[in-house]
Amino acid sequence: MKQKTIFVIDDVRTNLDYLVEILSNEYKVLAAPGGEIALNIIDQLAVLPDLILLDIIMPDMDGYEVCARLKNNPKTEQIPVVFLTARASEEDEAKGLSLGAIDYISKPVRADIVRARLKNHLALYDKSRLLEDLVEARTQELHQTQDVVIHSLACLAETRDSEAGGHVHRTQHYVKALAERIRDDNKYKQLLTDRMISRLYKGAPLHDIGKVGIPDRILLKPGKLTEDEFEEIKKHTLYGRNAILSAETYLGSNSFLRVARDIAYTHHEKWDGSGYPEGLKAEDIPLSGRLMAVADVYDALISRRVYKAPFSHDAAKKIILAGKGTHFDPHIVNAFIAVEHTFKDITLQFHDDIG
């Protein structure tokens, strides 16, 4: 088993020497004569200590401040801190524990007490880390399973009317690129967190899941659709929304499903209110739907379909620009222009039968 490392911080040399002596038979011991020095040492360590034994009364920076800084640093916040001090009042102990310390040992110390307490705390810390690793592994497994199911469902829908299997991958990457671009605007900075962009990325492939409910004679028709046929096509937004709502009745509503539902239902709405299914206008359209609208139309333009040949990037770009302020959110069109080279890279990475 790997030897544990204890970092002892105390400004009194005799205390440091004593603690190193009683601990060095079982542990690797690091020592520092003050708080500021200790923080600098920790900042430079490639491998962090397993536990910190920390004096409170020190001249340059007291132990409370050292503990607070450790707990406010993501790099060190999980390291157990045990206070070792001559201060023995309940108020002192309560203050130390409130800052995140796990124990409070009063001076003068007994070697057997210190060794026993540290051994117990390290055992608990090991169990805690093992549990965290197991939870993380299980969470990753669940996320991977979710991603595979989403992708499979999305590909099933796309095979109904598209020869381009890459459409699912391309559109979700387009949406991510657009979202990351407009996040730089203060208007969207708080909304478009990393978590929200991840939900957009995961939800985008389900935008056309409702197409599974459209008859082949309409969905695969090579010629122009009749008015009635187009009305039927428009129902895929409703079918998609209802399918995701059905999933929510079993799984419960969550942020990912809400985003996916908005994308499926509103990605054919238009900025000027002339879209479907509800004729929403401007910012009444969810941001997820507005992002998906640009991504979906661009990819439809550059892809081969039964009813058309693929457009070039420049031709598709002109059409997107022509729809600025009518079909598309002007701000998102500006973002599209800013990241058009990223769009080109995405089409090459997930290439199939495109222009």
Kindly state whether residues 317 and 278 are assigned to the same domain.
yes
Query: Within a domain: residue 149?
Result: no
pTM over 0.95: no
Return left, alpha or beta for 121; rule: phi > 0 is left, psi -120 to 50 is alpha, else beta.
alpha
**Confidence bin at 328 (pLDDT 50/70/90):** very high
118 Cα distance to chain centroid: 36
Q: Are residues 11 and 114 in the same domain?
A: yes
Query: Rounded to the nearest 5 degrees, what angle is found at the Cα of 131, between the Cα atoms of 127 and 135?
Result: 170
- For residues 70 and 207, membership in a common domain is answered with no
Q: Rounded distance, CA 52 to CA 38, Å?
A: 10
Are residues 210 and 325 located together in one domain of the fold? yes
140 part of a folded domain: no
Quote the longest CA-to-CA distance of the chain.
92
Q: What distance in Å separates the CA atoms of residue 25 and residue 36, rounded to the nearest whole number?
A: 27
3-state SS record for the chain: CCCCEEEEECCCHHHHHHHHHHHCCCCEEEEECCHHHHHHHHHHCCCCCCEEEECCCCCCCCHHHHHHHHHCCCCCCCCCEEEEECCCCHHHHHHHHHCCCCEEEECCCCHHHHHHHHHHHHHHHHHHHHHHHHHHHHHHHHHHHHHHHHHHHHHHHHCCCCCCCCHHHHHHHHHHHHHHHHCCCHHHHCCCCHHHHHHHHHHHHHCCHHHHHCCHHHHCCCCCCCHHHHHHHHCHHHHHHHHHHHHHHHHCCCHHHHHHHHHHHHCCCCCCCCCCCCCCCHHHCCHHHHHHHHHHHHHHHHECECCECCCCHHHHHHHHHHCECCCECHHHHHHHHHCHHHHHHHHHHCCCCEC
Tens digits of per-residue pLDDT, 117-149?
Answer: 888 888 888 887 777 777 777 766 666 656 656
Supply the pLDDT for residue 280.
97
pLDDT (0 to 100) of residue 94: 75
Q: What is the pLDDT of residues 35-70, one digit of tens each?
A: 999 999 999 998 999 999 999 888 889 889 999 999
**CB-neighbour burial class of residue 261 (10 A; exposed 0-12, middle 13-18, buried 19+):** buried
354 domain residue, yes or no: no
Give the Cβ contact number of residue 136 at 10 Å.
Answer: 10
- Same domain? For 164 and 55 the reply is no
The CA-based angle 157-159-162, given to 5 degrees, is 110
Number of C-beta neighbours around residue 275 at 10 A: 21
Residues 196 and 335 in one domain: yes
Domain extent, residue 104, equals 5-133
- Whether 257 is covered by a domain: the verdict is yes
Q: Are 71 and 203 part of one and the same domain?
A: no
The Cα 14–Cα 241 span in angstroms is 71
Residues 277 and 234 in one domain: yes
- Does residue 355 sit within a domain? no
* Res. 355: pLDDT tops 50: no
Q: Does residue 32 fall inside a structural domain?
A: yes
Q: How much of the chain exceeds pLDDT 70, in percent?
A: 88
Q: Is residue 288 part of a domain?
A: yes
pLDDT digits (tens, 9 = 90+) for 198-214: 999 988 988 988 888 88
**Alpha-carbon distances of 162 from 90, 91, 117, 258, 307, rounded to whole Å:** 71, 70, 65, 26, 11
CATH number of the domain within which 91 lies:
3.40.50.2300
Give the chain's mean pLDDT: 86
CATH number of the CATH domain containing 224: 1.10.3210.10
How many structural domains is the chain composed of? 2
Task: Note whether 61 and 16 are same-domain residues.
Answer: yes
Looking at residue 149, its pLDDT comes to 62
* 233 plus 329 within the same structural domain: yes
- Separation CA 151–CA 204 (nearest Å): 10
Does residue 28 sit in the same domain as residue 65? yes
Could you tell me if residue 45 is inside a domain?
yes
Residues 340, 247 share a domain:
yes
